[in-house]
Structure 1
């Protein structure tokens, strides 16, 4: 018997009742287009993923926007990097020359 995971099992916050209607409203409001802007230029790809702008527990329409798949993955990666905090340098410190006097 194959194990089957629910499509929302990984989510930290469950989607509310009426999620499909909220998503449809956000899709209509955003014109079915990705809302990601880079240098003031809006992405022209279709909006396929509904993204929470702020708090993931806030499912209000003002906190939702449509993103294309690549921009949603980019945003998620940026959020994950910020959550991890600063990482230690992977470079070895430069060694002082033994003949230098300081």
Structure 2
């Protein structure tokens, strides 16, 4: 969230249901419209988008895989932190461009 403060209602919503956050996870790639692939800020956004994708894979496959359970479990529960890191990377790029 902008300003670094996360409203309690947002945390409660995420804790209650993850449904909306899974729908809103971006695919890597659109950030290239804001800068070149060599731009470190663009690379950070792409990295955070990939980590969010890993959380979605963990969410979708959490019940069907046993060998990778620990990694999927970590990815599944890291979605809140990863979504905040993605937002921070996007804000850093936008601030740098204005």
TM-score after normalising by structure 1:
0.31
Of structures 1 and 2, the one with the larger relative CO (CA 8 A, separation 6+) is 2
* Structure of higher CA gyration radius: 1
Structure ranking higher in strand proportion: 1
Structure ranking higher in helix proportion: 2
TM-score after normalising by structure 2:
0.32
